[in-house]
Structure 1
Amino acid sequence: MGQAPRSSLRPLALRAATDQRRHRRVAVALLGRYMLSDRKEYPCQTVDMSPGGVRLTCAVGGEVGERTVIYLEHVGRIEGTIARLLPDGFAVAISATAHKRDKIASQLTWLANRAVLGLPEDRRHERLVPRQTVTTLRLETGREIAARIVDISLSGAAIACAVELPLDASLTLGRTPGRVVRQFKGGFAVEFRLPLSPDRFDENLVL
């Protein structure tokens, strides 16, 4: 039998190249949480990701082949199985439909372009103003300070407060521990010690 015509091979080659690009790993640091088979949630951060897999830095490991559910900022909920254990976390093979993989590919392309072009973060889906904005700050000394939440993201909050706190000051915002990372006129930004769970991130959130 002779070789197949080049024209019949080209679509396969194009599809293979497309699949390879689609599954190219992107170095991206996204905060999130993951759940193992024990049904407990733990904080994590991505190291790199493709539509077919993600590498996580986390404190609590699992077993190879164990199913996990992960919630990531920008990406949302993904499922998969632990494919490889690493010194500081593990790698997950993502289980998803072709449509979901295409969606992840688009999100990763946007994140990669944003980093390369130095674009400001699009916070329309990252930050929200909770219904309950009045809160109490508790300092390490035990002092309590009344404050107001300007907005919240998975990783922190902007706080309006009459008391000026120094950078890196530790505090508890409601029941959520954090530290002061930036100051602005009339308040400061707080970074949470652990990211919030995306599945409860809505206007009814109470810290």
Structure 2
Amino acid sequence: MNAILEKARRYNRKFQRIKTNLPGRFMMPDQQEYPCQVMEMSPGDIKLYTPVKAAIGDRIVVYIDVMGRFDGTVARLFESGMALTLQLSPLKQDRIADKLTWLTNKDTISTLEDRRHERKQPEENTSHITLPDGRSYECQIMDISISGAALTAPVCPDINTYITLGKMSGKVVRHLDNGFAVEFAPT
């Protein structure tokens, strides 16, 4: 019975974890980097899916798309990954909580009021994108405005990659469930 109570105390969490599916990477104590997927996160801990595991007590650095960089200590290992505890200031915990809340609710909140310009669905929605290395792909324009466009294509360029859509230059600013968003460069 005491062992059960001790285990419950050890895993008692100060914060509620949010289920996510964020890509990232982490650096082991030997400076080697590996890819990972954030399965759950809170302002106090992270649960990572990764085939490569550190030892309990190891300090590692995690880089999570959208969320940023975190220093953590390996608290638990499980079959498909590991859990880390984070030591963050109350201010950074609040910021992480805000980002997690936004991530949880972003699909249900109307982003129309956040848009700088009205978006329209073009009548002719087929175009092409050109990547920095010169490769060109046909794409479909889901919607477009003066400041950017949402696209689907056979490739999904990394965020911050500069591309050309038709004759417009722009930068990939976010990945969508079925494509990516481009912000046009000022002319």
TM-score by length of 1: 0.52
Structure with more contact order per residue of length (Cα contacts < 8 Å, sep ≥ 6): 1
Pair 1:119–1:30, CA change in 2 (3 A)? farther
Pair 1:49–1:184, CA change in 2 (3 A)? same
Pair 1:39–1:103, CA change in 2 (3 A)? same
Q: How does 1:1-207 map to 2 (within 5 A)?
A: 23-115=15-107, 117=108, 133-136=131-134, 146-147=135-136, 161=137, 184=140, 188-191=153-156
Secondary structure at the aligned position of 2:155 is classed as: strand
Pair 1:53–1:187, CA change in 2 (3 A)? closer
In 2, Cα distance between equivalents of 1:86 and 1:21: 17
In 1, Cα distance between equivalents of 2:155 and 2:23: 15
Q: Structure 2: 5+ residue runs without aligned partners?
A: 1-11, 115-129, 142-150, 163-187
Pair 1:133–1:42, CA change in 2 (3 A)? same
Number of aligned positions between the proteins: 126
Q: Structure 1: 5+ residue runs without aligned partners?
A: 1-19, 123-131, 137-145, 148-160, 165-182
Aligned CA RMSD, in angstroms, stands at 3.2
Q: Percent same amino acid at aligned positions?
A: 34
Which stretches of structure 1, 4 residues or longer, exceed 2 Å deviation after superposition?
Answer: 183-187, 201-204
Secondary structure at the aligned position of 1:34 is classed as: strand
